[in-house]
Amino acid sequence: MNKQTKRIGVLTGGGDCPGLNAVIRAIVKTADNDYDVEVIGFLDGYEGLIENRYRVLEVKDVSGILTHGGTILGTSNQADPFHFPVLEDEDYIYLDRSSQGIRNFEKLGLDSLIAIGGDGTMAASARMMEKGLPIIGVPKTIDNDLAGTDITFGFDSAVVTATDAVDKIHTTAQSHHRVMIIEVMGRYAGWLALCSGIAGGGDIILLPEFPYDIEAVCNAVKARNAAGKRFSIVVVGEGARAQGGKMVVDREIKTSPDAVRLGGISRQVAAQIEGLTNIECRVTILGHLLRGGSPSSFDRILATQFGVEAVHMVMRGDIGQMVAMKNGSLGMTPISEVAGKLRKVTPDHPYVQVAQSLGISLGVPVDEPLEEYFVEEVAK
Ligand code: F6P
């Protein structure tokens, strides 16, 4: 055990999600209980490290936060230390502030930093590690698209919220005999759409990984009507697109490392279905609703396990690693192997197979192999 460690830092980076506070709580309690180590929390992700904004976290500060959504530390998805946006004359310039971050870390007498975040945070952490910052990663995101772990915390809670929405929309779909299209977040991966679609009894699920054929989608709707089921539920991932089409960009945030914010594909799908079938459609875009609320019990346990393990990793000296869940057991993956990669839904994934066995349309003609529609790279 690393007896030298006296003080560790923690930050939450990227989009928030349920479970962040549960990780912070687990880190502070474990550091105190098992090792008598002090914890400093940087505010607003890497922004706080660069700007030297932080607070000391004592056990009393994390009392009662297990059930709270968001993060008591604040977060930012626009704080790349190597390309740090600084407002100058009403416009942003971008500076490499990574050395400032290292200096602040050293001045505080920290021994290591626990970075809780998704792919953007892990990518920044990989580069900060190359500059000598000793980092342990904790994987979070509602998108569940992080490489090196089977699951991220935050995802289950988002699935629960999305499923609840699909359930509620089901009844109005039935009453009005409509096609209801529900768009969920998830960026370039379809995990959230796939899981909430299956859990909510969706009839058609459109994922970024399988650009859809609108005729196949309409055929699925018509087949249901012909069978006497006069409504359909379509769950669409925000990164879905038609065959030969493009993802729908809602806005671009130029200060963000990945500037693209997706949203709005469901309106295209609705217009196309209405045009080709004459059946009335309605659209619901769930958006940031999926990032809010109290973490599910699954996420509370997962986030707590991750937080406890991250502190053990610090004390064991497993620097440069991200805590991970692999085949149901805690493990770890080098942060350098996670950065820049996305974990996407694949045609052979058991959930995809289940969807197909249930007759859920994935927007592909029924007589054609799904593999032929699979697109792994991100086509923006
Ligand atoms: O990565 C989490 C996520 O919620 C994505 O699902 C979504 O595309 C994006 O963040 C939205 O980002 P922002 O909060 O900047 O609008």
Give me the CATH number covering residue 256. 3.40.50.460
State whether the Cα torsion 192-198-201-204 is positive or negative. Answer: positive
Ligand 1 pocket, 77 CB below 6 A?
yes
Residue 141 Cα to ligand 1 middle (Å):
9
Domain identity same for 59 and 11: yes
DSSP 3-state assignment of 13? coil
Domain identity same for 245 and 144: no
Domain identity same for 218 and 246: yes
Residue 262 Cα to ligand 1 middle (Å):
8
Provide the annotated active-site residues.
Answer: 143
The CA distance from 203 to 255, in Å, is: 38
Reading phi first (left if > 0) and then psi (alpha if -120 to 50, else beta), residue 148 is in left
Residue from 359, 140, 361, 179 nearest 278 by CA: 179
Say if CB 234 and CB 182 are below 8 A apart: yes
Ligand 1 pocket, 15 CB below 6 A?
yes
Residue 217 included in any domain: yes
Ligand 1 atom closest to Cα of 291?
A: 4
Residue among 75, 142, 289 whose CB has most ligand 1 atoms within 8 A, to mutate: 142
> Which residues, in sequence order, are CB contacts of 81 under 8 Å at separation 6+?
46, 49, 50, 96, 97, 98, 100, 101, 124, 127, 128
Residue 379 included in any domain: no
Domain identity same for 48 and 104: yes
Residue 256 Cα to ligand 1 middle (Å):
11
Residue 2 included in any domain: no
- What beta strand segments (E) does the chain contain? 7-12, 38-42, 54-57, 84-88, 91-95, 112-117, 135-139, 179-184, 204-206, 232-237, 249-252, 260-262, 281-285, 321-326, 329-334
- Residue minimizing CA distance to atom 3 of ligand 1: 15
Ligand 1 atom closest to Cα of 239?
A: 8
Domain identity same for 236 and 327: no
Domain identity same for 272 and 300: no
Residue 241 included in any domain: yes
Number of domains in the chain: 2
Domain identity same for 178 and 268: yes
Domain that holds residue 126: 7-153+295-338
**Tens-digit pLDDT profile for the chain (380 aa)?**
566 889 999 999 999 999 999 999 999 999 999 999 999 999 999 999 999 999 999 999 999 999 999 999 999 999 999 999 999 989 999 999 999 999 999 999 999 999 999 999 999 999 999 999 999 999 999 999 999 999 999 999 999 999 999 999 999 999 999 999 999 999 999 999 999 999 999 999 999 999 999 999 999 999 999 999 999 999 999 999 999 999 999 999 999 999 999 999 999 999 999 999 999 999 999 999 999 999 999 999 999 999 999 999 999 999 999 999 999 999 999 999 998 899 999 999 999 999 999 999 999 999 999 999 999 877 55
DSSP 3-state assignment of 208? coil
Residue among 185, 248, 285, 342 whose CB has most ligand 1 atoms within 8 A, to mutate: 185
Ligand 1 pocket, 265 CB below 6 A?
no
Residue 378 included in any domain: no
Q: For the domain that residue 116 is a member of, what is the CATH number? A: 3.40.50.450
The CA distance from 95 to 81, in Å, is: 8
Residue 229 included in any domain: yes
Say how many C-beta atoms besides its own lie within 10 A of residue 305's C-beta: 17
Residue 357 included in any domain: yes
The CA distance from 24 to 102, in Å, is: 22
Rounded to a whole number, what is the distance in angstroms from the first to the last CA of the chain?
46
Average pLDDT, the chain: 96
Question: What is the DSSP-derived secondary structure letter of residue 30?
Answer: H
Residue 190 Cα to ligand 1 middle (Å):
13
Ligand 1 pocket, 184 CB below 6 A?
no
- Residue minimizing CA distance to atom 10 of ligand 1: 15
Domain identity same for 147 and 215: no
How far, CA to CA in Å, does 305 sit from each of 153, 164, 299, 301?
Answer: 10, 26, 10, 6
Ligand 1 pocket, 127 CB below 6 A?
no
DSSP 3-state assignment of 325? strand
Domain identity same for 206 and 96: no
Domain identity same for 42 and 146: yes
Residue 187 Cα to ligand 1 middle (Å):
7
Residue 285 included in any domain: yes
The position carrying tokens 């914890």 is 39
Domain identity same for 24 and 134: yes
Residue 239 Cα to ligand 1 middle (Å):
11
Say if CB 192 and CB 144 are below 8 A apart: yes
Domain identity same for 106 and 162: no
CA angle, 31 as apex, 28 and 37 as ends, to 5°?
A: 115
The CA distance from 25 to 369, in Å, is: 47
**Residue 141: φ, ψ to 5°:** 165, 140
Summarised one tens digit per residue, pLDDT across range 11-23 is 999 999 999 999 9
